[in-house]
Every structure is written in C-alpha cells, then in structure tokens.
Amino acid sequence: MSERRVAERTLVNAARGLTLLAVEAYSVGLAAGLAVMQPLRMAAFVGDNTLAAEPRALLLRVALCCAAIAVLYGCLLWRRRGADRLWDTARRLAPALLAAAVPPLFNWRIWGGRDLHFLALAGAVVLGLRGLVLVAQSSPPCGASRPPWLRLPSGDWGGARTALRRPLVLVCLGAVAYTLYFAYHTIVHHRIGLSTSFDLGIEDNLLWNIVHGGPFFKSSPFSGTGASLFAYHAPWLAYALAPIYALHQSPETLLAIQAALVGAAAVPLFLWARAHLGDAPAALVSFCYLLSPAVHGPNLYDFHYPVLAPFFLWLTLWAVESRHRGIAGGAFVLCLATREDVAASVAVLGLYFLLSGRRVKAGAAISTVATAYFAITKFVAMPMARDLSLWVGGPVARRRALLLRGDRDDRGQPRLCAGHAPRC
C-alpha cells in the first residue's frame, strides 16, 4: 500500500474515531445530566421540551464538556497508539451512544398516556443496543492487560476455580442484599398498616390452617367457613412453605420468604446466562434483574405465589439445559405447585426447549405435562371444588362462587334467594 493511501486511511480512521468518541461522550454527558435532574423537571423536558434556560444551558455545557474531554483523550491516543487503535477503542465504546435514552425509560411520569411512545423507545433501545454490542464485539481487543485480581494463576487450579467463581459470588451477594432490603421494607410496610389485608390475610390464614391441621386449603376470610381455597387457586407450594411458617407464624414470615425467593432467582438466572454469554455478561443480566422496577413492584405488593415463580422457572431452565436431572425434576414439580396459572409459563418453557432443539424430548415432556396439569386443574378440578363450596362454604362462599360463575337473575343479582337452586 502506498504512503498516500496509508496517510488517507490514518486520517479517515482518526476522524471516525474522534467523531464517534465525541458523540458517545456527549450521550453519556446527557445521561448524567438527566440522571441528576429532578424527576418532574425531566418529565417536562423529555415529554414537552419544557425547561428553563439556565438548567438547559447547564445540561448542554456538561454534555459538551464530556465530548471535549473525549476528543482530547482521542488525540492523545492517536498520538501514542495510532489511528487504528483510536478507531478500535471508539467502536468498543459504541453501546455508550444509547446512554442518553436510558434515564427517561425509568421515569414513569414521562409515559403517562404515552404507552406507544414508551414501547417505541424501549424497542429502539433494545434493538439498537443489540447492534451496537455486535459492533463492539467485532472490534479487536484494545490491548489493555487484566488487573491482577482477574488474572488466573498458571499452576494453581484451586485459585483458578476461585477466580472463575467470583462473578457467582457477586451475584449471590447481590441476592442477599436484595433479600435483606426488601424483607425489611415489606415488613415495615406491613407493620405500619399499609399492607392489603385481603391478599396477605388470605395467604396467612391458609398457612396457619395448614400448620394447625385445618381442612384442605382452608382460608376462612376468602371462602367462608368449611369451604376450600382450591375452588379458586391451587397453591400447593403452601404445604412446602408450612415448615418455615411454623417457626414464626406471622404474615411477616411470608413477606421474608417472598423477598428471599425473588432475590435468589438471580442465581439460576446467572447460571443459565453464563453458559450462553460468559461470566461478566451473565452477572450484568442478573444485576439488571435485581434492579428492575418490574421485579420490585410485585415484591412490594403483599404476598402472592406467582411472584415466587421466577426462581423455580429459571432453576428448571438451567437444570434441564445442563442435564441435572434431579434438580430439574424437583424444580419442575415446584413450578407446577406454585399455582395453577404458572403451569402455562412452564408449558412455554417446554416449547423453548422443543423449538430451539436444545432438549427436544425434555421440552416435549415438560410442555405436555404442564399443559395437561393446567387444563385439568383449571377446567375440571377447580370448578368441581367451586360447586362444592356452594353447599359447604356458607353464604359468603355461595355468593362469591355464584358471582364468579355468572349465575344471575333478571335484575343482575346472584340467585341466592329461596326457591332458586343454583344451576350446574
């Protein structure tokens, strides 16, 4: 290649690298400014482009300063390592281009009445991030050496195992921190009287009756004396949680169990993701799960069995793919036992194994058994129990069952008066 062509290529790569670094730093600067901005002010700025002149100028100055620093760093890198290294470094940092779009996604005030706008932005960020990650992965390594704490010892296999397990240790610590934080806050939330007694009271009453040898799935506040909660839900997992509940018979125990299982779900998620992405990306995925508001919301709303399902679902996913048959079987049974509607998610999990070709036979078996269990429980066993509740559950259970079944008279009232036998 002639010297002229080499010089042209050097200038082109340098211009590309400096421009890309400047835009990436500008995006990071905007993200930092939006992150420290008051939520209401950010909502007005992003949603309606309404922001006073002084804060707007400050935001732009921060972003431009970040871009100037990046250009200065790029010039130094160009001088010391060459234009090719500058261009490779800029490509490695390509995902930073989307940094400015991240803070608005976590400000719910912006998206009131703008559901389609939110979906469009979230979809664009996800698709754009996928492409930019591919760009970053396609660039050659920048040549930076690993820090000593990440280097694997050459002859010490015990040390190598310890180093390889460090991301798993970090994920486990994150799960413990999540458990302690949300267990504390949900218990305090309950103690000051802000919990919803209808949901939490039902599950607490159910566990108390199981521990004390009460009738099958008895939960008096919901179904009335003598009737069974099985007419409406099938949380067999309550029998597995009963020994833990027996140690401290209080709704607070249920809140602590829920926080523990929601936090622990990050561990099987990491184990499964590690086989596909590697240690560091898998740890990042697990911490994104622990920090997701979509996880926090259900955890803060009393106690519900479907909230516990991700732990057993991801444990099944990892165990089936890694061929740990004993763990897979136990996790699969616990998935079905969580509640009857979780079986639908388990059936979808089986279809994933089947259609992806990873575990075809196991996927077919999981999907078939889960679908059959869901259909039999939801459309056969539970309606039978509901009809039985009409006669043994008292007036409260009869009214609730008739309302759910839709048996009403001409005035829209349930047929509970004398002379009107319930229709089956």
Place of tokens 């008096």: 220
Would you place residue 63 in the very low, low, confident or very high pLDDT band (cuts 50, 70, 90)? very high
DSSP assignments along 256-313, one per residue: HHHHHHHHHTHHHHHHHHHHHH-HHHHHHHHHHHHT-HHHHHHHHSS--GGGGHHHHH
**Per-residue pLDDT tens over the stretch 191-249:** 888 887 678 888 888 898 899 887 778 776 566 666 778 888 889 999 999 999 999 99
3-state helix, strand, coil in the chain (%, to 5): 80, 0, 20
Q: Is the pTM of this model over 0.85?
A: no
pLDDT value of position 226: 64
* Number of C-beta neighbours around residue 157 at 10 A: 10
Lowest-confidence pick of 116-125, 158-167, 183-192: 158-167
pLDDT, mean of residues 325-347 = 93
Reduced to 3 states (helix: H, G, I; strand: E, B; else coil), residue 102 is: helix
**Contact of 196 with 303, CB cutoff 8 Å:** no
Q: Is 80 exceeded by the pLDDT of residue 413?
A: no
CA distance 324 to 169: 21
pLDDT value of position 389: 55
DSSP code at position 143: -
Phi, psi (deg, nearest 5) at residue 301? -105, 80
In the chain the first and final C-alpha atoms are separated, in Å, by 88
Tell me the domain boundaries of the chain: 3-141, 167-405
**Contact of 250 with 244, CB cutoff 8 Å:** no
* Number of C-beta neighbours around residue 307 at 10 A: 20
**Per-residue pLDDT tens over the stretch 237-256:** 999 999 999 999 999 999 99
